[in-house]
C-alpha cells in the first residue's frame, strides 16, 4: 500500500528539508529524517491499513486473473494480500519510494518489485487486475489518470481502487489550520493534497469505459491505544509527512506539539485511554 505525492516521486509526499538528524520531539515523536517514505513508520499500523485492501479484493472478480500489478505497493502488505487472493496469478508491484520497494523485496522475494512513479508509468499491459490501494489520492489529474489505467486492462480485467476519503475529518482539517497559522505558514503554503472527487464523479468517468463499475464508501473505526499520541503516529505515516518534511528539527517539534494538542481535544479518549479513529474510505472496482 503506497501513496505517492505531487511534491516529488516519493511515496506519499516529500519536500526539501533542513537538518533532520533523527532526534526525538516532545511526546516521544521521532523526527522525519529523510526525503523518502519510511516503511518502518508505515507498518506501525499495518493490520489497520491492510484491512481495507482485504475488503477491496473481496469484491474483485477472481476468475481468469493471470496477471496482476500492485501500483503503489508500499512495503508489500497489499501485494501479499493480493497474492493470497489470487494464488495462480503472476503478481508484481511498483512504488516510487526506494525504501518501500526494499521492504517489499525483503518481505516477498518471489515477486518482482520496481521503483516507478504512477504518473509516468508506461507499461502497456494488458493486466487482468490493477490494484491501487491508498495511492491515487496522491497522484494528480484523475480525469486523465483513471481512463489511462483502464486502458491497460485486458478485456474483463478490473481496476481496484481504495482511497482515503477523510479530508473533512478533524485530523485533516486541524492539519490544514495549523499549517496555515504559525511561523511555518510561508514554508507550508501550497502543500495541498491532489483534488479529490465524490463517488458520483468517479462513476460517471468510468461507466462509459467499463462493463461494470462498483463504488462504495466505508467508515472504519480504528481503536488506537495511546490516545492522541497514537493518532499522531498514525498520520505521521501518511498525511503529516509532506508537512514535516519541509521543516527543520525545531519546526517539526513545535508543529507536532500543536497538532497533538489539537488532536487530543478533537478525539477524546475512552475510559481505557483508547481513541476510536473514524476513517472513511472510498472503494472503486471498475471492470472492463
* Tens digit of each residue's pLDDT (9 = 90 or more) over 217-240: 999 999 999 999 999 998 998 889
Domains with residue ranges and CATH for the chain: 26-287 (3.40.50.150)
State residue 45's pLDDT score: 59
Task: Say how many Å lie between the first and final Cα of the chain, rounded.
Answer: 23
CA dist., res. 260 & res. 243, Å (int):
14
State residue 192's pLDDT score: 64
List 158's β-bridge partners, or say none: 129, 287
- List, in order, residues 6 or more apart from 154 with CB less than 8 Å away: 67, 125, 126, 127, 128, 288
List, for the chain, all residue ranges whose pLDDT scores fall below the cut of 50.
1-37, 39, 41-43
State residue 146's pLDDT score: 98
CA dist., res. 176 & res. 105, Å (int):
35
Identify which of 120, 89, 97, 76 has the alpha carbon closest to the alpha carbon of residue 11.
97
Identify which of 213, 236, 270 has the alpha carbon closest to the alpha carbon of residue 27.
236
State residue 193's pLDDT score: 59
257 burial (CB, 10 Å; 0-12 / 13-18 / 19+) is middle
CA dist., res. 160 & res. 130, Å (int):
6
State residue 194's pLDDT score: 60
Q: pTM of the entire structure?
A: 0.82
123-131-6-17 Cα dihedral, nearest 10 degrees: -110
> In Å, what is the CA distance from 50 to each residue of 45, 56, 147, 284?
9, 10, 26, 16
Which H helix or E strand runs over 164? Answer: strand 153-164
Specify whether the CB–CB gap between 165 and 217 falls below 8 A: yes
Amino acid at each position: 500500500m503506497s501513496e505517492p505525492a505531487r511534491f516529488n516521486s516519493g511515496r506519499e509526499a516529500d519536500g526539501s528539508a533542513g537538518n533532520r538528524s533523527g532526534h526525538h520531539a516532545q511526546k516521544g515523536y521521532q523526527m522525519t529524517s529523510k526525503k523518502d517514505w519510511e516503511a518502518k513508520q508505515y507498518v506501525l499500523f499495518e493490520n489497520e491499513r491492510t484491512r481495507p485492501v482485504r475488503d477491496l479484493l473481496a469484491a474483485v472478480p477472481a476468475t481468469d486473473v493471470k496477471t496482476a500489478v500492485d501500483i503503489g505497493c508500499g512495503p508489500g502488505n497489499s501485494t501479499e494480500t493480493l497474492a493470497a487472493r489470487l494464488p495462480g496469478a503472476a503478481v508484481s508491484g511498483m512504488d516510487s519510494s526506494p525504501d518501500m520497494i526494499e521492504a517489499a523485496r525483503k518481505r516477498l522475494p518471489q515477486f518482482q518489485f520496481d521503483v516507478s512513479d504512477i504518473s509516468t508509468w508506461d507499461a502497456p499491459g494488458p493486466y487482468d487486475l490493477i490494484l491501487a490501494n491508498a495511492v491515487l489520492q496522491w497522484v494528480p489529474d484523475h480525469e486523465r489518470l483513471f481512463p489511462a489505467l483502464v486502458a491497460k486492462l485486458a478485456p474483463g480485467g478490473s481496476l481496484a481502487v481504495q482511497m482515503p476519503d477523510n479530508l473533512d475529518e478533524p485530523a485533516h482539517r486541524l492539519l490544514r489550520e495549523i499549517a496555515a497559522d504559525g511561523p511555518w505558514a510561508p514554508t507550508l503554503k501550497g502543500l495541498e493534497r491532489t483534488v479529490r472527487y465524490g463517488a458520483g464523479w468517479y462513476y460517471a468517468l468510468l461507466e462509459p469505459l467499463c462493463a461494470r463499475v462498483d463504488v462504495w464508501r466505508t467508515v472504519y473505526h480504528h481503536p488506537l491505544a495511546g490516545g492522541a499520541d497514537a493518532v499522531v503516529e498514525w498520520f505521521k505515516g501518511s498525511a503529516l509527512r509532506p508537512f514535516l518534511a519541509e521543516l527543520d528539527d525545531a519546526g517539526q517539534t513545535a508543529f507536532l506539539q500543536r497538532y497533538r494538542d489539537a488532536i487530543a481535544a478533537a478525539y477524546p479518549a475512552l475510559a481505557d485511554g483508547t481513541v476510536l479513529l473514524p476513517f472513511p474510505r472510498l472503494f472503486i472496482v471498475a471492470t472492463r
